[in-house]
Each structure stands twice: as C-alpha cells, then as structure tokens.
Amino acid sequence: MREHLDINGKVPNLIDHVLEELLCTEMWSEGTLEDQANVIYLKVNGCWFRHFFDCAIVFWRNQDKAPKSYEMQELDSYFKVVDLAHNLDIKGLKIRSFETYSIKGGSEFVFTFENSRSIVFTNINDITVYRT
C-alpha cells in the first residue's frame, strides 16, 4: 500500500474544474535533458499553481503568471517551458481526480480527466518524468 506524502503549501481545489494550461520546465544541462519535468505549472479558474517535489515533500504554490524559459549560466543549465496540455491534447478537459503518493525511492502525482485519460508525474531521486 502506498503512503501519502507531506504537503507544503495549500493544495488547490482542482476537482471538476477545467484544465486551462499544464506546463512544465525541462532542465537541460550541457545539452543533455536532466529532468523532464523539474517544475509543473497548472492554470485552473484563471489561477496559476506551481507544483514540485523535493525530499519526499510535495510543494504547492500560487503564481501570478505563466513561467518563461530561462538560463542558469552558473550551472550551465537551461530550463525550457513545455506546453504539456497542448502536446498531450488534454487542454480544456475537466479534472476528475488528482492524488499524490509515496513510492519506493520517491513520489508520484496522478491526474485523471473526464475522458478517463491521465497523466502521471513520477519523481525519484529528485528527477521527475511523466507518462500518459
């Protein structure tokens, strides 16, 4: 059985609301993709939310606007914003459920939509990947 994780921040009410945007930042270092979904951004009811994992803690933060790609020269890294809602054809779908779990070596976050489609974000050793 999976255990629930510690939550830092206020979890937004997403159930039965339409997903307006779903973005993530990919972390590229020295030309190599190091983290497929370093931070996850959702827009629901006109509000932006930032979601990320760190050391078995799930973080939720409000955000004023959509993120932009940026570079961190000191780490020779580039953080590229990717439009997951558009790329995965889930923009405009109603969110039916979302759950966060502790898994071996990390954590997992699952969104399920009105058409039974889902997206799963898995974070192990501070690296986040997603699958549908």
pLDDT tens string 89-106: 999 999 999 998 888 888
Instruction: Please indicate whether residue 126 or residue 28 has the higher confidence score (pLDDT).
Output: 28
For the whole model, what pTM was predicted? Answer: 0.91
What is the arithmetic mean of pLDDT over 39-60?
90
Give percent of the chain with pLDDT exceeding 90: 74
How does pLDDT run across 4-47, given as a tens digit for each residue? Answer: 578 889 989 999 999 999 999 999 999 999 999 999 999 999 99
E strand intervals along the chain? 6-8, 19-29, 32-44, 47-54, 57-63, 70-72, 77-83, 95-103, 106-113, 118-124, 127-131
